[in-house]
């Protein structure tokens, strides 16, 4: 949804809209005065309310999915402004996200690539029609190529075909592979730790994937035996 549309609609309807809503919500009434000063916070408030009221919780999906954190807000503001985040702010956001990465408690980064493949090719879970007991898929195929045999994959993200091979991983236990394996874990756990406004979901950070699932996804990408590296 384009926020600018909300802004222009709101500006056009202006005071009339504010007057209509004001008696219902005290907080909105309070913002009437601010609206006349052209404070964009007021327009942001109405835009958020308009979006929120267009959705309802259904099944396992709650409207809380619309809640944003500091990272989302900074990146949305940059989008609205039509320019990327300034470098210093981007670094701060990346550092904050990197701090939140949970590293494997037992030091084991690499699981079973076959389980990782099933996860990467599954888009199940987190949908209103999914049962709460449905394990979440990784949905990676929707943005990344992973395997030569795939008939259909998305291209929002770069191809991950031969990911480990191209990065020289010949033995997942060798010290030479450590850095790339750690990065792969961190990237899947929280993509914004390395790219502040990444379009990639923060799988671990947002509770989409478990630690065990991320271990399998790392295996899919780095294990020399994995379908990704053939």
Residues of the shown chain interacting with ligand HEC in the complex, contacts defined by CB under 6 A: 120, 138-140, 142-144, 156-158, 160, 184, 187-188, 191, 195, 198-201, 203, 217, 221
| Residue among 28 and 192 whose Cβ is closer to ligand HEC | 192
Alpha helices (runs of H) in the chain, residue ranges in sequence order = 3-21, 26-36, 40-53, 70-81, 87-99, 113-120, 163-166, 178-189, 211-222
Q: Are 189 and 204 in contact (CB under 8 A)?
A: yes
CA 119 to chain centre: 17
Q: In angstroms, give the least distance from the CB of 50 to ligand HEC.
A: 25
Q: In angstroms, give the least distance from the CB of 51 to ligand HEC.
A: 20
| Residue among 28 and 226 whose Cβ is closer to ligand HEC | 226
| Residue among 59 and 158 whose Cβ is closer to ligand HEC | 158
Q: In angstroms, give the least distance from the CB of 128 to ligand HEC.
A: 19
| Residue among 157 and 224 whose Cβ is closer to ligand HEC | 157
The pair of structure tokens assigned to 142 is 């929707």
What is the dihedral sign for C-alpha 188, 194, 199, 205?
positive
CB within 8 Å of 82: residues ≥ 6 apart: none
Q: In angstroms, give the least distance from the CB of 63 to ligand HEC.
A: 21
The pair of structure tokens assigned to 132 is 């709460």
Q: In angstroms, give the least distance from the CB of 143 to ligand HEC.
A: 3
| Residue among 125 and 138 whose Cβ is closer to ligand HEC | 138
CB within 8 Å of 155: residues ≥ 6 apart: 143, 145
């Amino acid at each position: 949804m384009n926020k600018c549309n909300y802004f222009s609609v709101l500006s056009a309807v202006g005071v009339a809209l504010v007057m209509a809503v004001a008696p219902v919500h005290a907080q909105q009434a309070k913002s009437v005065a601010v609206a006349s000063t052209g404070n964009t916070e007021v327009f942001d408030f109405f835009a958020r309310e308009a979006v929120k009221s267009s959705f309802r919780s259904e099944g396992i999906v709650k409207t809380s999915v619309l809640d944003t954190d500091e990272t989302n807000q900074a990146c949305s503001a940059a989008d609205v402004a039509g320019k990327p985040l300034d470098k210093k702010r981007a670094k701060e956001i990346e550092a904050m996200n990197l701090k939140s990465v949970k590293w494997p408690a037992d030091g084991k980064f690499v699981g079973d690539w076959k389980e990782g493949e099933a996860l990467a090719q599954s888009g199940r879970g987190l949908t209103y029609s999914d049962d709460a007991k449905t394990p979440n898929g990784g949905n990676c195929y929707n943005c990344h190529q992973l395997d030569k045999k795939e008939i259909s994959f998305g291209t929002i993200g770069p191809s991950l075909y031969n990911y480990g091979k191209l990065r020289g991983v010949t033995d997942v236990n060798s010290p030479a592979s450590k850095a790339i394996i750690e990065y792969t874990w961190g990237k899947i756990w929280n993509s914004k730790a390395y790219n502040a406004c990444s379009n990639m979901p923060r799988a671990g950070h947002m509770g989409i994937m478990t630690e065990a699932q991320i271990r399998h996804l790392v295996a899919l990408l780095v294990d020399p035996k994995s379908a990704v590296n053939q």
